[in-house]
């Protein structure tokens, strides 16, 4: 799974304190005076700095009217050097719980994720979730594909059909990270888990958006900022 790790992105949603006179650039190096509103994961879509993640990871900033919130992303380049910089949201689709961020690679060579297909998955095959649960970067959890064709709720209340069910642990901060197969190919985007009521612990019933759905959705978000269906 070493091939996939460089493509995984750690995402922080930060809010500047009104009283602070520091610039955003200063906060990228030192977060004192900024409040962490949320964290999540994503993965590099291409070499141009596009990041795919879940809409619910970025929803607060997507609807922010204050101008005080921003994204801080951390990723490594092809040579293993860590890049920490600001990213902008350029498109999102709440119906499929998907969003695209963009950052400036600053001339660095990036390692995009290897994209697979979800059309030939079968129950029982091995899979792996990579993300940043609770801020622990590049955490790998293992499991199997437990079910296919599941229906889960989207952030706007509609149904996401065809979701992948897995027992690979998905915890807070894992959302938006890749679900990969044994060859390191992305087969889904980790998105949600059922928790045991009152415990906050995962029940082992976790879900990912199939990569074939992502492949149909993301190109339009990059070009237009909105889903293809919203343009007509």
Rounded to whole angstroms, what are the CA distances from 48 to 51, 105, 110, 182, 225?
9, 7, 8, 26, 16
182 is catalytic: no
Check 93, 97, 167, 181 and give the catalytic one.
97
Alpha carbons 231 and 68: distance in angstroms, whole number: 30
212 is catalytic: no
Check 56, 154, 192, 202 and give the catalytic one.
56
Check 7, 146, 175, 202 and give the catalytic one.
175
97 is catalytic: yes
Residue 205's CB is within 10 A of a number of other CB atoms, namely 16
Catalytic residue numbers, as ranges? 56, 97, 175
């Amino acid at each position: 799974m070493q091939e996939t790790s460089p493509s995984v992105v750690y995402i922080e949603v930060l809010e500047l304190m009104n009283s602070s006179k520091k610039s955003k650039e200063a906060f990228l190096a030192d977060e004192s005076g900024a409040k962490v509103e949320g964290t999540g994961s994503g993965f590099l879509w291409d070499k141009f700095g596009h990041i795919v993640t879940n809409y619910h990871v970025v929803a607060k900033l997507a609807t922010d009217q204050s101008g005080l919130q921003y994204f801080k992303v951390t990723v490594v380049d092809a040579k293993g050097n860590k890049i920490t910089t600001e990213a902008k949201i350029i498109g999102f689709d709440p119906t499929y719980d998907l969003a695209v961020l963009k950052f400036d690679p600053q001339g660095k060579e990036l390692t995009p994720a290897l994209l697979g297909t979800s059309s030939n998955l079968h129950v029982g095959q091995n899979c792996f979730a990579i993300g940043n649960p609770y801020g622990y970067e590049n955490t790998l959890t293992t499991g199997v594909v437990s079910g296919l064709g599941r229906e889960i709720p989207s952030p706007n209340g509609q149904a996401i059909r065809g979701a992948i069910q897995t027992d690979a642990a998905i915890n807070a901060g894992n959302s938006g990270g890749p679900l990969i197969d044994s060859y390191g190919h992305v087969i889904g985007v980790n998105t949600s888990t059922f928790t045991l009521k009152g415990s906050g612990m995962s029940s082992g019933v976790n879900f990912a958006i199939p990569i074939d759905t992502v492949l149909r959705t993301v190109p339009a978000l990059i070009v237009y900022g909105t889903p293809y269906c919203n343009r007509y």
